[in-house]
Structure 1
Amino acid sequence: MNTILRLLEPLIGREIRIGENRGTVIEVHDDPPSLIMRAENTPDAVQVDYFGRPRSMTQPTWTQSITGDSGRGLHPDLQRQLPIETARALDEFIKSRQA
């Protein structure tokens, strides 16, 4: 397993606020490093099949990059919510990929 996934996997199940959005991490991706979030306290959305026909109700999800707007470091909202060791390791990983 690669380094970034080892750092991100413990976040699965954790509730995180990014800006005005609050969600629970349900999955992690390594390329690009991101969190798949399930929206909390939002109305369910209709899930459709590939023909566009409604099939079921589901909670909305979104993909959240772990980098800030500049792409040069860990997202500031994540820095404030993660354990300090995790935040530092993620920030170092992001910066090492830019060198």
Structure 2
Amino acid sequence: MNTILQLLEPLIGQEIHIGEHRGTVIEIHDDPPALILRAENSPDAFQVDYLGRPRSMAQPTWTQPIVGSSGGNLHPDLQRQLPLETARALDEFIKSSRS
């Protein structure tokens, strides 16, 4: 397992606030590093098949990159919510991967 996955894996199951959105981390990606969040307090949405026909109801999800808008640092909303050691390690990983 690579370093970024080791740093992100403990976040699975945690509730994260990004701007006005609140979600629970349900999955992580390593390339590019991102969190997959299940939206909390939002109505279920229709899940459609490949033809666009409604098939089932599902809670909305979204992918949240861990980098901020500059692309060189940890997303500011994540910095404020993660344990200090995790935030520092993720920030260092982001900076080292840009070099």
Q: Distance in 1 between matches of 2:4 and 2:98?
A: 15
Deviation at 1:18, TM superposition (A): 0.4
Q: Distance in 2 between matches of 1:29 and 1:5?
A: 8
Question: Counterpart amino acid of 1:74?
Answer: L
* 3-state SS in 1 of match to 2:42: coil
Deviation at 1:51, TM superposition (A): 1.2
Which 4+ runs in 1 deviate beyond 3 A? none
So what's the TM-score if we normalise by structure 1?
0.99
* 3-state SS in 2 of match to 1:13: coil
Over residues 43-81 of structure 1, what are the superposed CA-to-partner deviations in whole Å (9 max), with x where a residue is unaligned? 000000111111100000000000000000000000000
Deviation at 1:93, TM superposition (A): 0.1
Question: Counterpart amino acid of 1:16?
Answer: I
Over residues 9-58 of structure 1, what are the superposed CA-to-partner deviations in whole Å (9 max), with x where a residue is unaligned? 10000000000110000000000000001000000000001111111000
Q: Distance in 2 between matches of 1:87 and 1:68?
A: 13
RMSD: 0.4
Q: Distance in 2 between matches of 1:68 and 1:56?
A: 34
So what's the TM-score if we normalise by structure 2?
0.99
State yes or no: 1:47 paired with 2:44.
Answer: no
Identity score, percent: 80
- Could you say which residue in structure 2 is the equivalent of 1:91? 91
Q: Distance in 2 between matches of 1:4 and 1:94?
A: 9
Unaligned runs of 5+ in 2: none
Q: Distance in 2 between matches of 1:76 and 1:93?
A: 15
